[in-house]
Amino acid sequence: MQEKAGIVIPLDGSRTAALAFGAAQAVAEVMDAVLHIVTVTDQPLPEPELMGKLGIDRLPLRDFVLHQEPGDVVDVVVSLASRQNMLMTVMSSHGETFNQGSLIGHIGMGIIQRSTYPVMVIRPDMKKLPDSNWRPRKALVPLNGSPAAAAAMDRALQLAELMGCEVDVIHVAMQGQKRPRAAGSLTSPMYLDYPHHEWSAWAEEFMARFARRPPSVKLRLLHREGVPADQMIKQAEENGEDLIMLAWQGSLEKGRARTIKRILAKTEVPLILIKTG
């Protein structure tokens, strides 16, 4: 029999880390997946004691597996999340040491950088944290029109389908940035000879290239202009988006991934990072 799909949630016993638990429970529920609670320790505890330590002993838990592993936290989480049946890791951006000024804690950073599977990041200071009853209905997926982002889009649509989400695809026209050079790129039309014809054709082509949706996913294409991160935050706020899914290349080094950093700093909804390449 095929093993049931899983959602991984790393917990370190801190209150901050446990703030992601509601979201993890919710997506496990909605995706009909087993929740894999993982904690790293050299001294395994009996389950009730561990549950208490992790702060989840009073929560109604239905279908879960508790993993107590020794070793490096990042190694353990990434290894577990890489199993074939795992859909996603859900985690708080910070663990024990939450510093509002930092975008993500060093453990979280290690996990998102090394995971090849999607990671949902929950900021502990979000005004409204998802609880186990959270049901994401609308997901915002930015697409910059590059072939790499298109590859991530397939995964995003798969997740949206499993979560039962509608998807708002957003493309932001930008000033200060050149068009992607990779063959097959498609950003906002450079030439709009007769805009009423061009826009609809562009939207059709854009979706055909990058968002060939599973039939059950309702898609909408939005075109905005400005700073991409700001436009996404604005869109999420004004249109009641429940989460944002972002493609990224796995590096948050200085000068890279400006959009992700900005969204991580400002988002009020969970952010799913999908690695490309």
Partner 1 sequence: MSCSVDSSRIDRHRFEIIAFDWDGTAVKNREVDASAVTAVLEELLKLGVTIAVITGTNFNNIDRQFSSLIAGPHKQNLFIGANRGSEIYGFDRNSVPVVLFRREATAEENQLLDRVAEVVKSDIERRSDLIINIIYDRLNRRKIDLIPEWEKPPKSRIGELITRTQKRLRDGGFKEGIGGAFDLAVKRSREQGLADARITSDVKHIEVGLTDKSDSIRWLITEIARRQNVSQADFLVLGDEFGPIAGFDGSDFHMAVPEPEGITYVSVGKEPNGVPAGVLHLGGGPACFMKLMKRQIGLRRRLAVTDDPSFLLVEEGFNPLREREIESLFAVSNGYLGTRGSLEERNRHSGTATLIAGVYDSDGPEGLEQLAISPDWLYTRIYVSGRPLALNARTMVEHERTLDLKKGVYRRHWRYRDKNGRVTSIHFLRFVSLADPHALIMRVSVLPENYSAMMRLETGMSECEGCRTSLQPVAEKGDSILSLRAKTSDGGINVSMAQRTRVHQGSIDVKRKVRIEDGGIFEDLSWQGEMGRLVTLEKYVSVYTSRETADPLKSASSHVNEIAGRGLTELLLEHIDSWEERWESAGISLGGDPSARRWLNFSIYHLISAGNPHDERVSISARGLTGTIYRGHIFWDAEIFTLPFFVFTHPATARAMLMYRYHTLPAAKNNAAAAGYQGAMFAWESAESGQEMTPKAVLSSSGEVVPVTAGELEDHIIADIAYGVWFYWNATGDTGFLLAAGAELLMETARFWVSRSKKRGDSYHILRVEGPDEYHDEGVDDNFYTNSMAAWNIERALEAAAILKRSHRDEWSALSARIGLKAGELRHWQTLAAKMFRGAETQSGVIEQFAGYFSLDDLDIHDYEPKTAPLDVILGHDRTVKTQAVKQADVVMALYLLERELSGEAIRESFNYYERRTDHGSSLSPAMYGLVATRLGLLDKGLAYFRRAGRIDLANNMGNAAGGVHLAAMGGLWQQLIMGFAGVRAESDCLCMYPRLPGKWTRLAFKLHWHGCTLELEIIRNRVIRLKLEESGEVPVRIFGCEVQQLAAPGTFSSEWKAGTWGEFTPIPGRTGSLDGRKN
Residue type, position 3, single letter: E
Residue whose CB is less far from partner 1, 71 or 240: 240
Q: What minimum distance in Å lies between the beta carbon of 17 and partner 1?
A: 38
Nearest to 149 by CA among 210, 70, 218, 198: 210
Strand-strand pairing, 86-92 and 166-173: unpaired
Residue 220 Cα distances to 83, 101, 116, 158, 231, angstroms: 32, 34, 27, 16, 16
Residue whose CB is less far from partner 1, 18 or 169: 169
DSSP run (H or E) holding 222: strand 219-225
Q: What minimum distance in Å lies between the beta carbon of 250 and partner 1?
A: 22
| Residues 262/234, Cβ–Cβ less than 8 Å | no
Strand-strand pairing, 119-122 and 271-275: antiparallel
Residue whose CB is less far from partner 1, 4 or 218: 218
Residue whose CB is less far from partner 1, 158 or 188: 188
Residue whose CB is less far from partner 1, 84 or 175: 175
Residue whose CB is less far from partner 1, 1 or 190: 190
Residue whose CB is less far from partner 1, 219 or 265: 219
Q: What minimum distance in Å lies between the beta carbon of 233 and partner 1?
A: 17
Q: What minimum distance in Å lies between the beta carbon of 137 and partner 1?
A: 18
Separation CA 264–CA 193 (nearest Å): 38
Place of tokens 């609880």: 131
Q: What minimum distance in Å lies between the beta carbon of 118 and partner 1?
A: 22
Q: What minimum distance in Å lies between the beta carbon of 156 and partner 1?
A: 16
Q: Retrieve residue 236's tokens.
A: 């999420």
Spell out the SS3 assignment of 10-60.
ECCCCHHHHCCHHHHHHHHHHCCCEEEEEEECCCCCCHHHHHHHHCCCCCC
Separation CA 88–CA 163 (nearest Å): 12
Q: What minimum distance in Å lies between the beta carbon of 59 and partner 1?
A: 40
Work out whether the CA dihedral 191, 192, 197, 198 comes out positive or negative.
positive
Chain positions contacting partner 1, by CB under 8 A: 145, 147, 150, 173-203, 205, 208-210, 212, 220-223, 225
